[in-house]
Amino acid sequence: MGWRHVLVDLDDTLYPASSGLREEIVSRMTDYLARVLDTDRDNAARIRQEWSLRYGTTLSGLVRQSSSAQAEEYLRYTHPVEVERFLRRDPELRPALQRVRLPMSILTNSPREHAERILGYLGILDLFGRIYDIRFNELRGKPDPSLYTRVLDDLGCEAWEVLLVDNRVDYLEGFERLGGGVLLVEEQGCRAEPQEGGHMPCIRSVKELPDYLDALAAGEAS
């Protein structure tokens, strides 16, 4: 294994995907696109999905395709301040993450202030040494290889020394192609498979991360 660092995604990874927060963000993305592109909401939703698949994030598509796009305005509009409307504090989350014996950082396609709001509300902000947000790599987020390379350089690690924990298979595949370790978080059960076949390690909740790491360490020791 040989991992020296764990990168953890934020949205739908550190809190349950069923919370509704992600749906709120997506709805706001659609509203923003409809306004900026002067189109109806159904067409804006279609464009958002297309850009997300093609570019990794809706924002990446927006800055490429629309001269009227304002990235900071978009980030402010799409990420709600009142995260307590959607999230519930989990008393088991902090003790579980404290059992992870490797340093951890956040890697998110959201802005830093959104990450800090969520981490602060969940009571785990101090458990993460760094927050790599969408601005870190000039708005080029996961799964852009340049983001992963820049993060690895900042950590002073090779890809094989880092584990990425995320709820998006395509983001994990991008990191895996560089030689990094990957772990999928799938709340509804570990059904998702990599697009090119094979098996991707999977847990149902980030709270299972320390047990996953301990089991790997025990297997290597034996």
What pLDDT, on the 0 to 100 scale, is given for residue 222?
42
Q: Which domains does the chain have, with CATH numbers?
A: 5-17+88-221 (3.40.50.1000), 21-83 (1.10.150.450)
- How far is residue 170's CA from residue 183's CA, in Å, rounded to a whole number? 12
Q: Which amino acid is at 32?
A: Y
pLDDT digits (tens, 9 = 90+) for 10-60: 999 999 999 999 999 999 999 999 999 999 999 999 999 999 888 878 898
Element at 153 (helix H, strand E): helix 145-155
Across 66-75, 115-124, 125-134, least confident range: 66-75
Q: How many CB atoms lie within 10 A of CB 49?
A: 13
- How far is residue 36's CA from residue 47's CA, in Å, rounded to a whole number? 12
What pTM value is reported for the model? 0.90
What pLDDT, on the 0 to 100 scale, is given for residue 26?
94
Cis status of the peptide bond prior to 143, with omega within 30 of 0: yes
Q: Has residue 70 got a pLDDT over 50? A: yes
- State the DSSP string of the chain: ----EEEE--TTTTS-GGGSHHHHHHHHHHHHHHHHTT--HHHHHHHHHHHHHHHSSHHHHHHHH-TT--HHHHHHHHS-S-GGGT----TTHHHHHHT--S-EEEE-SS-HHHHHHHHHHHT-GGG-S-EE-TTTTTT--TT-HHHHHHHHHHHT--GGGEEEEES-HHHHHHHHTTT-EEEEE-TT-S----TTSS---EESSGGGHHHHHHHHHHHHH-
Q: Dig out the tokens for 65 from the structure.
A: 């395709």
Question: In the structure, what pLDDT confidence band is assigned to residue 198 with cuts at 50, 70 and 90?
Answer: low
Question: In the structure, what pLDDT confidence band is assigned to residue 196 with cuts at 50, 70 and 90?
Answer: very low
Q: Has residue 132 got a pLDDT over 80? A: yes
According to DSSP, the residues that pair with 94 across neighbouring strands are none
Q: What is the mean pLDDT of the chain?
A: 91
pLDDT digits (tens, 9 = 90+) for 134-169: 999 999 999 999 999 999 999 999 999 999 999 999
